[in-house]
Amino acid sequence: MGRTMDFRQKEVINLSDGKRLGFICDVDIDFDSGVIKAIVVPGPGRFFGLFGGGEDTVIPWENIAKIGVDTILVELEEGNSRRRHRELKSY
């Protein structure tokens, strides 16, 4: 499989429309079972997951079609993903 940190270096592309969704900013893991439940891609206007507000795209693991060396191909139709509002962090 690989490490979850390796996912952050892969670009996510939707097979349904060919759209580049961005790079993974987070992984949703069920720690009780050790299973990855979803990957999270930052919403538009985000820069390396740090600046900008908005909603992230949460892609369920079952929607991942293929994990390659540089990209992750997903199959997303309207309604197959969910949005997660991300709060701005102040440091």
All domains of the chain, ordered by start, with CATH?
4-85 (2.30.30.240)
pLDDT at 77: 80
Predicted TM-score (pTM) of the model is 0.73
35-75 per-position pLDDT tens digit: 999 999 987 765 555 555 568 889 999 999 999 999 999 99
What are the contacts of 5-14 at 24+ separation with CB within 8 A?
7/39, 7/72, 10/67, 10/68, 10/70, 10/71, 10/72, 11/70, 11/71, 11/72, 12/39, 12/41, 12/59, 12/71, 12/72, 12/74, 13/71, 13/72, 13/73, 13/74, 14/74, 14/75, 14/76
